[in-house]
Amino acid sequence: MIFIRPEQPADIPAIHHVVEQAFQEAFGSTAEADLVDNLRANGKAIISLVAVENDQIVGHILFSEVTLGDAMIIGLAPVAVLPSHQKQGIGALLINEGIHACRNAGYTAMVVLGHPEYYPRFGFVSASRFGIKSEYDVSDETFMAMELQPEALANCAGVAKYQAEFNEV
């Protein structure tokens, strides 16, 4: 049985391992594991959840603040599931719980940079629909946004900027 809970200090090495394994297998990159550590160390890990199965951490998701003009929204990144545990719905559990936690924390909108086949099922649409651009040179359909409160992005056209740690890895 899988459950989702906020990270605890003792989880830190296991989270690093999960993120490293997932991104190593998918992209041949381990920078995202360092990104998670850097964001946490700098107090920028606003919401960090783990998926636990049989006392083992098998998935992780992190949210950090993103500036959009004068507005502060939240960014989903990264999300990772151990390769051996993928395609069982754990990523979806983490994303849905994370969205819920961000809404409860008062955030009104969320952005994500990722697979355009995956995130729309959670309610994300192309950020360009709201006039929002990424600061990175990415294709239109991979940068997505979602309102957590109705009309939250109605007057928020502009460039979304992630925390500086994203540029350091």
Give the footprint of ligand COA on this chain (CB under 6 A).
22-23, 26, 77-81, 86-92, 114-115, 117-118
Q: Which two tokens stand for residue 103?
A: 């809404």
Give min distance, CB of 20 to ligand COA, in A: 10
Give whichever of 85 and 148 is closer to ligand COA, judged by the CB atom.
Answer: 85
- Bond preceding residue 83 cis, omega within 30 of 0: no
CA distance 76 to 48: 10
- State which residue, 27 or 106, has the beta carbon closest to ligand COA: 27
CB of 82 to ligand COA, least distance (A): 8
Three-class SS of residue 139?
Answer: coil
Task: For ligand COA, give the closer residue by CB, 88 or 128.
Answer: 88
Q: How far apart are CA 67 and CA 40, in angstroms?
A: 18
Question: Cβ 76 to ligand COA, closest distance in Å?
Answer: 7
For ligand COA, which residue has the nearest CB? 91
Residue 41: which of 65, 9, 81 has the closest Cα? Answer: 9
Q: Minimal distance in Å, beta carbon 3 to ligand COA?
A: 14
Q: Tokens 């690093």 belong to which residue?
A: 16
Per DSSP bridges, beta strands 47-53 and 143-147 are: unpaired
Of 22 and 49, CB closest to ligand COA: 22
Q: Which is nearer to ligand COA, 114 or 123 (CB)?
A: 114
* Contacts for 87 with CB less than 8 Å, ≥ 6 apart: none
At closest approach, how far in Å is the CB of 151 from ligand COA?
27
